[in-house]
Structure 1
Amino acid sequence: MVIQISTFDFTGLLSDTIPFSYPEDDLPTLHCVRLEWDGSLMHALSTDLNRIAISSWHPHDDTEAGDEREQARLPVSPWGGSDRPWAVVLPRPDAEKLVQVFKLPAKRGLTPLAVEVQHGHLKVIRPRVGGLLSLRADVEGSLEEFPDLRKLLGEHDRVEAVDGISYSGGNLADFCSNVRQRGPLELGFSGPTGMTRISIGERFVGAVRPASVRTQMGARLGAGTQG
């Protein structure tokens, strides 16, 4: 159950989604990032009640990181790994620490990481390669229930015209400033009171609530969860 992923892609998945997790630890079920492998793609998911973020990676995705001449000297085996699905919920501080510990300059972004999850325990290993020291991080995540964000997105997967709509500036700006811009940013409106769907390229999808709509997600968390 070991997945090999580039440093750029692993830290990018977490960085794409950490800002959209609930910022305070008084709501631990949302003060976190869910990391999962579905057999072919790795996903990171988060929500803060008013926004949703899902960032994904496929082993065959092109990456903008790294210098090909430098990486050609690295003993990199094909990306990917086991097709057995797994999932783990990482507390936000631990996810932030992983990014801090493993992030590298762009020219070294293709440096491989081995990612393994067993019974809620996440292990990330960088081998001694390309002049870099070996590095290992162990995180005790959990198998706690997590909101079914795909279901929530699906409830707003419709197109409905709006005459005017307003957002909290910070809530909307984070999609531009914190998510890797790997393609065009597109908005899908589901009406004046529905969540606005946001896609960035092919590997990021999220949503934001209009500022005029009071969130009801908290009352519905128990209605749709993914273990």
Structure 2
Amino acid sequence: MTTTADTSRVATASPQEDTKPRWRFAASLGLYGAALGAFVVVSNVVGLTSKFAVDADALPPEDVLYFTIVGGLTGFVVAGLTGYLINRSTRAFASSTPRHALGILPWAALGGVYWVSFSLLVGGITLPQANVVLAYVDGAIPFVDFVGFSLDTIFGVPFRMVSEGGRFMYTAIWAGLLFALGGWVIDRLAVSANAPAARYGSPLAAVLLSAIVITFLLLLPPTILWHIGNVTTATQLYR
């Protein structure tokens, strides 16, 4: 005989179980977006460096790590939130009401969303604030200046999104394209009729795609990263 307490426990447990595929999909997409974000920021910073300095030496490892973390966190937020909001209903990820994978055209649009959102967010908020935090941690500024610079970052978000975020647009457009293609693959695996593929396919695909992106970031010569991140390279192609 089922008691009222048992019924209550079942009713409260079901929504929690339904959220697992949705969170898994969001985390998988977020991981891939983080790798792309790291690639964008590092290559963009290299692209802003003097060509002669790039030819002479690679970017210092500590700088690569710093910009990888900033770009990775920003990309994870943008991509993870996109993955979570693709379907407003958590129950759409439950096996009782299967969700259909999005087509390549919707994913192309989501790639555009990633391109613009990442550029504005990293240029307008995360990178400027990360620079302030790093300066405070290194002891370069006192706590009072840390608070003041942080407030300045907050109030200057609209201006920085245009002035600083705009310089990430060129490099991030390639990340948006890769995000669309990789997201389409991850999405199809997440809604596969095969239970193991639906459970493990999207995380494994995200790990593999992210590893490929990071491998290219670490192994590509600085001169190639300079061409990827330098906007003047794009203008020279049309001359």
The answer to whether the superposition gives a TM-score over 0.5 is no
TM-score (normalizing by structure 2):
0.24
Structure with the largest fraction of strand = 1
Structure with the largest fraction of helix = 2
* Larger RCO: 1 or 2 (CA < 8 Å, sep 6+): 2
